[in-house]
């Protein structure tokens, strides 16, 4: 037997925070060594933090990374343990994303990333060059200060692996695992038994199984030990890195770390018999045949044994039941952990949320409540870092600290119901009950006086006073009256966030939380600079359907029972007067359901559909209940309002990224915000397809007279109709 103990990590690094990042790397190495591991794998770019973005273009970032690596290597951290450490490196004139393999206070190899992540949220080609040389290892000259400190002038640099006397190990960096021809396939044929994947992978709802299937598939048919390390937490941006450090052996998961956690350092250890890898490979004829004619990969020889012999005192890791969270749990724990990192690192003293009593703002309140519960639980488990942060943020004195989530929420969370004459007693009551369940400091204020003052000022200036549509006003008047209320709420929220801590003799300021969901952002069903405008938004890329499922879950599992009533209520903005024959409803206002919006969003972003291909896809999907003409009208209606309102995405509150069809403009969904909202060419093509489909239907029914009429444009949806309308509708 060849017994090998390995350790992989979840690290909560912070971009550009070199001191704490280095300390956490050291802490993880210490924990790995204490557990008896001889290999320690850390996440991608762990010294600098993965989310440095354009800071990677600064030489300071490269230089500081070398300084931190030197600090690790001059100590005894790497004595007797192979450490794979991620950092940016410049070679010649190119900048590379690298894993630095260290052992016994020396660098034994530098492995640059060959396939860069460059889609969705990732822009690695903006900052790094992909390594393209595969046939040999270059000789890399270390920076002078590093060379002098380590008494080592150069190191092998490039694509290759490290051969110890009893096994071979290699790095495979993040995106490389998911390429059509991943390096591990070739490396396995060259005898590599341990693959180390350093990653910077963000959370997205329902995504974890894709990642785990990739680990399992990498070793299921070719054998091997697959180690995976990841960041965990908010490192300074919209993403939450969801950890889940894992070890897989021959297709079986034998160790799995947490996906959501407040811990800054988590080390996952596995004890493996490498002979099971050799045994599996030796039993596969196809593996043997392909290995006999493999393309040779360069290697570095290290005269050292990593493995131990047979020892009954050593217990081997066994296959585990993989832990998956439900989407409802992901919505609770992912944004909850992200909010905690943002709060403790921003210097703020808490959050303020405009709580309307509707589904969206109530979801945000529940997520903050979940965050408070997580903090109290981690403190009870003995996490000193969480405890210290909670004491500072909650302004505890005399050795006190949070022991009850409701008491902690009272210290760090304000909720405000900003009612108007259009607000119902039901939503006011729901907001109050939910706030009591969570424990927030709740305020109930009326904005009618401020609205009236603004309207009086407008009347003084113009001699006119706008009216709601139900009272005889125009669409312009109706919209402006709604927007006034919404924007007043934003101004009031920021004023309260700054002044309420002062009123209550608390230090610092509070962050304002937004509460618009991904579907409303996609449709533009929100007022620019209203109460959806905030400092951060934990639900900005979560769909309405997922939020409603979350509310049902949270009513039971978080203990906020009022959420069940909130979820059951029809969505309404309550910005128009309530009359006996009229009540404002979101889906009626939008002209589409939230279910339809989710479909449009996925087709537009995930399947990359323009108007014509979306129409064609929906004809298949909805053809059993809708005619082509009806599908066409729905598609046109969506794209009209999507393009009219796209400009709102440029000022959208920074949101937690959770959904693959997010319309977030800053980095994920890069499209223009000025459109011809009539889409004349595309809508004409849709009309032509509708006429062709109508003609075919009539031909099949044998009605030749109708065929002739349709062919001549009679009774069809003509081009002129699609192209007519107000050309300034998007202004």
- C-alpha 127: how far from chain center: 21
CB 694, CB 715: distance < 8 Å: no
Angle formed by the axes of helices 275-283 and 285-292, to 10°?
A: 90
Three-state DSSP at 53 gives helix
- List, by residue number, the catalytic residues: 44, 113, 174, 356
> Token pair for residue 364?
């945000």
> Token pair for residue 490?
């934003």
pLDDT of residue 713: 40
Q: How far apart are CA 281 and CA 663, in angstroms?
A: 46
pLDDT of residue 573: 75
Give helix then strand counts, H and E, for the chain: 25, 20
pLDDT of residue 710: 40
pLDDT of residue 225: 97
CB 447, CB 492: distance < 8 Å: yes
pLDDT of residue 665: 77
State the pTM of this model: 0.90
**214 CB-contact burial (10 Å; exposed 0-12 / middle 13-18 / buried 19+):** middle
pLDDT of residue 581: 66
Q: How far apart are CA 89 and CA 74, in angstroms?
A: 19
- A 10 A CB-CB count for 453 gives 11
pLDDT digit string, tens, across residues 110-131: 999 999 999 888 999 999 999 9
> Token pair for residue 547?
């939020």
Task: Give pLDDT < 50 ranges for the chain.
Answer: 704-731
**CA end-to-end span of the chain, whole Å?**
73
Rg over CA atoms, the chain:
29
Q: How far apart are CA 375 and CA 266, in angstroms?
A: 16
H-assigned helices in 112-233: 124-127, 144-150, 183-189, 208-220
**289 CB-contact burial (10 Å; exposed 0-12 / middle 13-18 / buried 19+):** exposed
Q: Tell me the Ramachandran region of residue 508: left when phi exceeds 0, alpha when psi lies from -120 to 50, beta otherwise.
A: left
Closest CA to 682 of 625, 615, 631, 634: 615
pLDDT of residue 668: 81
Closest CA to 462 of 480, 489, 488, 485: 480
pLDDT digit string, tens, across residues 26-41: 999 999 999 999 999 9
Angle formed by the axes of helices 544-557 and 327-346, to 10°?
A: 90
Q: How far apart are CA 549 and CA 129, in angstroms?
A: 43
CB 52, CB 238: distance < 8 Å: no
Contacts of 86 (CB under 8 A, 6+ apart): 42, 43, 44, 45, 46, 47, 97, 98, 99, 100, 173, 198
CB 371, CB 387: distance < 8 Å: no
Q: How far apart are CA 258 and CA 278, in angstroms?
A: 30
Q: How far apart are CA 434 and CA 365, in angstroms?
A: 8
């Amino acid at each position: 037997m060849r017994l090998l103990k390995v350790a992989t990590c979840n690290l909560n690094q912070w971009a550009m925070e070199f001191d704490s990042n280095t300390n956490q790397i050291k802490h993880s190495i210490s924990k790995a060594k204490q557990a008896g591991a001889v290999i320690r794998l850390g996440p991608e770019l762990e010294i600098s933090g993965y989310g440095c973005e354009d800071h990677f273009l600064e030489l300071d970032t490269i230089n500081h990374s070398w300084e931190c690596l030197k600090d690790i290597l001059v100590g005894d951290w790497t004595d007797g343990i192979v450490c794979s450490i991620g950092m940016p490196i410049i070679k010649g004139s190119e900048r590379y994303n690298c894993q630095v393999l260290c052992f016994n206070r020396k660098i034994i190899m530098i492995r640059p990333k060959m396939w860069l992540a460059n889609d969705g949220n990732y822009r690695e080609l903006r900052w790094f060059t992909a390594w393209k040389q595969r046939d040999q290892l270059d000789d890399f000259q270390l920076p002078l200060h590093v060379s002098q400190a380590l008494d080592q002038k150069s190191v092998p640099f490039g694509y290759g692996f490290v051969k110890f006397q009893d096994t071979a190990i290699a790095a495979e960096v993040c995106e490389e695992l998911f390429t059509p021809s991943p390096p591990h396939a070739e490396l396995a044929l060259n005898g590599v038994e341990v693959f180390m994947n350093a990653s910077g992978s963000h959370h997205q709802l329902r995504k974890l199984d894709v990642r785990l299937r990739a680990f399992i598939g990498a070793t299921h048919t070719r054998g091997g030990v697959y180690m995976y390390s990841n960041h965990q937490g908010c490192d300074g941006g919209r993403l939450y890195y969801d950890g889940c450090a894992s070890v897989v052996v021959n297709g079986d998961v034998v160790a799995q770390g947490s996906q959501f956690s407040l811990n800054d350092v988590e080390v996952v250890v596995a004890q493996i018999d490498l002979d099971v890898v050799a045994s599996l490979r030796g039993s596969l004829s196809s593996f043997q045949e392909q290995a006999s004619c493999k393309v040779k990969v360069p290697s570095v020889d290290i005269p050292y044994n990593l493995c131990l012999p047979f020892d009954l005192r050593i217990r081997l890791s066994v296959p585990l039941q993989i832990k998956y969270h439900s989407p409802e749990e992901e919505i609770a724990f992912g944004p909850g952990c992200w909010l905690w990192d943002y709060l403790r690192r921003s210097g703020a003293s808490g959050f303020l949320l405009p709580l309307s009593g509707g589904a969206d703002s109530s979801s945000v309140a529940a997520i903050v409540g979940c965050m408070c519960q997580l903090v109290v639980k981690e403190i009870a488990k003995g996490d000193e870092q969480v405890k210290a942060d909670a004491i500072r943020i909650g302004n505890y004195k005399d050795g006190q600290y949070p022991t009850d989530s409701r008491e902690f929420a009272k210290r760090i969370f304000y909720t405000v119901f900003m009612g108007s004459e259009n607000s119902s007693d039901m939503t006011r009551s729901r907001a109050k009950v939910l706030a009591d369940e969570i424990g927030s400091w709740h305020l109930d204020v009326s904005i009618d006086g401020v609205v009236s003052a603004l309207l009086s000022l407008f009347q003084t200036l113009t001699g006119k006073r706008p009216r709601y549509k139900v009272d005889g006003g125009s669409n312009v008047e109706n919209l402006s009256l709604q927007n006034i209320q919404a924007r007043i709420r934003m101004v009031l929220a920021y004023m309260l966030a700054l002044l309420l801590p002062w009123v209550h003799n608390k230090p610092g300021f509070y962050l304002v939380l937004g509460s618009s969901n991904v579907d409303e952002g996609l449709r533009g069903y929100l007022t620019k600079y209203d109460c959806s405008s905030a400092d951060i938004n934990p639900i900005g890329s979560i769909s309405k359907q997922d939020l409603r499922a979350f509310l049902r879950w949270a009513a039971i599992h978080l203990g906020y029972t009022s959420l069940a009533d909130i979820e059951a209520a029809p969505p309404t903005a309550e910005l128009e007067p309530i009359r006996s024959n009229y009540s404002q409803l979101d889906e009626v206002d939008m002209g589409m359901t939230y279910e339809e919006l989710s479909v449009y969003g996925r087709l537009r972003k995930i399947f990359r559909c323009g108007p014509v291909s979306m129409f064609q896809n929906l004809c298949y999907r909805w053809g059993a209940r809708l005619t082509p003409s009806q599908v066409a009208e729905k598609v046109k209606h969506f794209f009209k309002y999507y393009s009219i309102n796209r400009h709102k995405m440029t000022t959208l509150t920074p949101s937690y990224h959770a959904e693959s069809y997010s319309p977030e403009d800053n980095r994920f969904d890069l499209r223009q915000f000025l459109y011809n909202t009539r889409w004349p060419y595309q809508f004409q093509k849709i009309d032509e397809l509708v006429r062709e489909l109508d003609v075919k239907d009539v031909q099949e029914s044998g009605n030749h007279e109708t065929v002739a009429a349709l062919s001549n444009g009679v009774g069809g949806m003509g081009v002129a109709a699609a192209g007519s309308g107000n050309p300034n509708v998007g202004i």
